[in-house]
Amino acid sequence: MALIRAQNLYDLQERTQIGPMRYPLLSQPVMEACLRVPTWLWIEGGRNRAIAREAFADRLPPLVAHRKTKGEFTGFCGEIYEARKPFLRDFLLGGLLAQQGLLNCPAIETYLSRATPARDIGFCELLDLTGVENWCRQWADAPCHS
* Ordered mean pLDDT values, 10 residues apiece, the chain (146 residues): 49 60 82 90 88 90 84 84 95 97 96 88 92 92 67
Q: Which domain holds residue 107?
A: 74-141
Query: What separation in angstroms does the CA of 49 have from each of 24, 59, 65, 135?
Result: 20, 15, 10, 32
Contact 51, 44 (CB under 8 A): yes
Return the pLDDT at 8. 52
The reply to whether 41 falls in a domain is yes
The domain boundary residue, chosen from 33, 49, 71: 71
Return the pLDDT at 83: 93
Which pLDDT belongs to residue 86?
Answer: 95
Judge whether 5 lies within some domain: no
Residue pair 121/82 in contact (Cβ under 8 Å)? The answer is no
Same domain, 64 and 115: no
Q: What are phi and psi of 114, to 5 degrees?
A: -105, 160
Alpha-carbon distance of 33 to 144, in angstroms, equals 44
The confidence score (pLDDT) of residue 132 equals: 94
Q: H or E element: which one contains 30? A: helix 28-36
Nearest-angstrom CA–CA distance, 5 and 26? 13
Q: Are residues 81 and 132 in the same domain?
A: yes
User: In the chain, what is the straight-line distance between the N-terminal and C-terminal CA atoms, in Å?
Assistant: 25
**Long-range interactions of 103-108: CB distance < 8 A, separation 24+:** 103/129
76 by Cβ neighbours in 10 Å (0-12 / 13-18 / 19+) ranks as exposed
On whether both 67 and 78 belong to a single domain, the answer is no
Inside any domain, residue 6 = no
Cα 112 from Cα 68, distance rounded (Å): 33
